[in-house]
Structure 1
Amino acid sequence: MKLKLQDIPRVKTITKTNFIKHYFKPQKPVVIERFIDDWPAYSKWNLDYIKDVAGDITVPLYDDRPVDYKDGFNEPHAKMKMADYIDLLKREPTKYRIFLWNILKEIPQLQKDFKFPDFGLRLMKGIPMLFFGGEDSHTFMHYDIDLANIFHFHFEGKKQCILFNQEQTPYLYKIPHSLITREDINFKSPDFEKWPVLKKAKGYVTELNHGEVLYMPEGYWHYMRYITPGFSMSLRAIARNPKNLRKAIYNILVMRHFDNIMRRIKGQQWIDWKNEQAIVKTHKHFNT
């Protein structure tokens, strides 16, 4: 048995009017295949180019190890020179990923390679973020702390994306006081005997190729797996739905600080309790 996933709709290109009507207002994902053909980044951005312009910069790296109470919120697991990291990506599979790397802050010249597109939303221009990963590396299933509208541009190679909207949260074994599901769920090939409620979840799937952009609506859960080494850039616009905006403010101002305090007070006991509650609450809700 597999996850209940439907293919994300694809269009070659799209107008602002059609994007707002067919995808933003109904909050549905879409892949736009040929939207950035006129960007210099379309022809320039690959791993070798990033190595040339950013090779001497030390970057934070993350892997898929279980959360430890000693780790702070989004605290990196290692650091490496970008040149060495890209050599690693091209040499062999690695679990190390770069997560939320602000390119404008580190390499302002890269701004010349792309434009902020007009999708009818006010994009946050100060925080375009890059994400890198090696073959078969992946993120945990999660949603972003600010529940933003996200435009995810992919470069080099191929990347699998699995999405769920917030209505599917009861089926995903969400960890309390966090933005992630149980980390030991393999969304590539889930064990439904261990995670029976996951069979009820209905989501979306696609594979992104170089130059394609995925629109992820507000608060969508997403799991990203690098089929081959590559990288992506996310541009974001704040949540418009008042409920999502309130939740974003709570996550940023309250939730993450509360979680860090509880880690310091209770240590690993807090992490273990949260992991257990993800199962207890999910199965209790569905009487499994």
Structure 2
Amino acid sequence: MVLRTGPMPSAQPSLNADLAREVAARLIAGHSEQLISFQLSGYGAPDYIQKHIQLARQNPFFQGASAISDMVQRQNWILETERASQRLHPESRTIPRHERLSPETFLKEHYSVHRPVILTGLVDDWPALSKWSPDYMEDKVGRDTPIELQKGRESTKSFEIDKLKLKTQIPFGEMADFLRSGKPSNDMYVTANNGAANRQALAPLWEDFSDIPGYTQSTSENDGFLWIGPQGTLTPFHHDLTHNLLIQVAGRKKVHIVPSYEEARMRPIRKYFSQWSLDDMLAAPAERRPQLLECEIGPGDALYIPVGWWHHVIGLEQSYSVLFTNFLWPNTYTNAYMGG
């Protein structure tokens, strides 16, 4: 038998997991130890809370998380300086319109500096502008041709996050009938997310539009995405991993846009979605809400949305749109974390 000599080890206080999480979160947020003890006094005496603070600071996992938090806070600081500087620009609170803007000017004043713009006069020769309607599309595509779309969007509040679960195949004629009814709805919508499945089925419609010389270039994998929906479609706040050129063919859409440097105020979830609804954002105190830009686009308008900029889109009328991401300039920004 081996006898232990010397003083007995001091008893360690029991760890309260809920308190530990609260302490860690407040330390990461930069709260003082005195404030944390006051905020969490409901968990026990100051000494008990102080012991949890000490354990947190000694924990290597917390130390790693703290280092990442410092890095994120520095990045947020850089974004705040960018925000302050950008708001000095005379166009920082509006989305300008430019008629037949040259590709060189677009690259210099918008694409390379991430500044949205509505371009007009670029697609005036597209047959789609005068032809696209439920009847015309049904005749071109075929009433019985199966297409993929999101169906049942009104059955869940998280329809955008759950869009993969809502993918459904129906005959194009069913969609045409739905559009002809004129009923406002967010329940059925053909979006860019359905592009890969629909490229062959909707191929005849590609005869009615084309690339924009000096702006885009066609490739076998990337020559446009179609959006087809009734009045009342809604795409909540999110950002994409590419620069986008949203070209309105028929109908009108209202678009709200938030700059990428407002990241800290956008309450992001699932990487590129936001917890904000438009109504909540408009009702929030000015100091809490991000800067919000608003525009309306109609037939022939091409809205440039820079990569990383948040946007919210409402279909004011039955609407047909073409989305291009195949710019002549670099447009690949996915990485191991921000996977597309």
TM superposition score normalised by structure 1: 0.71
The answer to whether the 8 A contact 1:172-1:197 is kept is no
In the alignment, what sits opposite 2:206? Answer: 111
**Residue by residue, what CA displacement relative to the aligned partner does 1:73-109 show, whole Å, maximum 9, x if unpaired?**
7332544322222322332111122222335432323
Q: Equivalent residues in 2 for 1:243-258 (5 A)?
A: 245=333, 247-252=334-339
Give the match for residue 274 of structure 2: 181
Q: CA separation of 1:140/1:198 partners in 2, compared to 1, >3 Å: closer, same or farther?
A: farther
Paired letter, 2:205: L
Tell me if the contact between 1:152 and 1:213 (Cα under 8 Å) persists in the aligned partners.
Answer: yes
Runs of 5+ unmatched residues, structure 1 = 254-288
Q: Is the counterpart of residue 206 in structure 1 residue 295 in structure 2?
A: yes
Separation in structure 1 between the aligned mates of residue 256 and residue 104 of structure 2, nearest angstrom: 26
Segments of 4+ in structure 1 off by > 6 A?
none
Q: Which has the higher contact order (CA 8 A, sep 6+)?
A: 1
Cross-structure match for 2:173: 83
1:128-173, CA deviations, whole angstroms, 9 ceiling, x for partnerless residues?
11112222220121112xx111111112211011112221121122
Name the Cα RMSD after superposition.
2.9
Corresponding residue SS for 1:163: strand
46-55 vs 91-100, which moves further: 46-55
Equivalent-residue separation in structure 2 for 1:196 and 1:123 (angstroms)? 45
> What SS class does the counterpart of residue 325 from structure 2 fall into?
strand
Give SS of 1:190's match.
helix
Partner SS for 1:31: strand
Q: Distance in 2 between matches of 1:167 and 1:13?
A: 29
Corresponding residue to 1:171 among 246, 261, 265: 265
The residue number in structure 2 matching 1:278 is none
- Once the two structures are TM-superposed, the CA of residue 28 in structure 1 deviates from its matched residue by 0.7
Distance 1:37 1:10, change over 3 A: same
Partner deviation per Cα, 1:239-266 (whole Å, 9 max, x = no partner): 848xx72x4453227xxxxxxxxxxxxx
In the TM superposition, residue 67 of structure 1 has moved relative to its aligned partner by: 3.5
Contact 2:127 2:209 in 1 (8 A): yes
Q: What amino acid maps onto 2:191 in structure 1?
A: F
In the aligned structure 2, how far is the partner of 1:161 from the partner of 1:38?
Answer: 24
Q: Which residue, out of 302, 321, 335, partners 1:232? A: 321
Shift of 1:51: 2.3
Among 280, 283, 297, which residue is 1:190 paired with?
280
Corresponding letter in the other structure for 1:131: W
Q: Deviations over 1:168-187 (max 9, x none)?
A: 12112211x332112xx431
Deviation at 1:199, TM superposition (A): 4.2
Aligned match for 2:185, one of 67, 88, 94: 94
Structure 1 pair 119/222, CA: closer, same or farther in 2 (3 Å)? farther
Identity of aligned residues (%): 19
CA contact (8 A) 2:252 2:319 kept: yes
Q: Is the 8 A contact 2:281 2:289 kept in 1?
A: no
| Bigger Rg, which one | 2
- Distance in 1 of aligned mates of 2:251 and 2:282: 30
* Contact 1:161 1:224 (C-alpha < 8 Å) held by counterparts: yes
| Residue pair 1:20, 1:119 contacting (<8 A) in 2 also | no
Note the C-alpha offset of 1:213. Answer: 0.9
- In 1, the alpha carbon distance for the partners of 2:253 and 2:102 equals 25
CA drift of 1:19 comes to: 0.9
| 2:307 is the alignment partner of 1:222 | no
One-letter code of the match for 2:273?
Answer: I
Q: Which runs of 5+ in 2 are unaligned?
A: 1-86
Residues 110, 121 of structure 1: CA spacing in aligned structure 2 closer, same or farther, 3 A cutoff?
A: closer
Please show how residues 1-288 of structure 1 align to structure 2 within 5 Å. 6-54=93-141, 55-56=143-144, 57-62=146-151, 63=153, 65-67=156-158, 74-76=164-166, 78-91=168-181, 92-95=183-186, 96-100=188-192, 101-102=194-195, 104-120=199-215, 126-127=221-222, 128-144=224-240, 147-175=241-269, 177-182=270-275, 185-187=276-278, 189-190=279-280, 199-237=288-326, 240=330, 245=333, 247-252=334-339
Q: Give, in whole Å, the separation in 2 of the partners of 1:214 and 1:116.
A: 15
Contact 1:123 1:236 in 2 (8 A): no
Quote how far apart the aligned CAs of 1:216 are: 1.0
- What is the CA deviation profile of residues 9-66 of structure 1, one whole-angstrom value per residue up to 9, with x for unaligned ones? 1112111111111111211111112211112222222333222222322322242523
Cα distance in 2 for partners of 1:210, 1:29 equals 18
Distance 2:259 2:203 in 1: 34
Q: Secondary structure at the match of 2:337?
A: helix
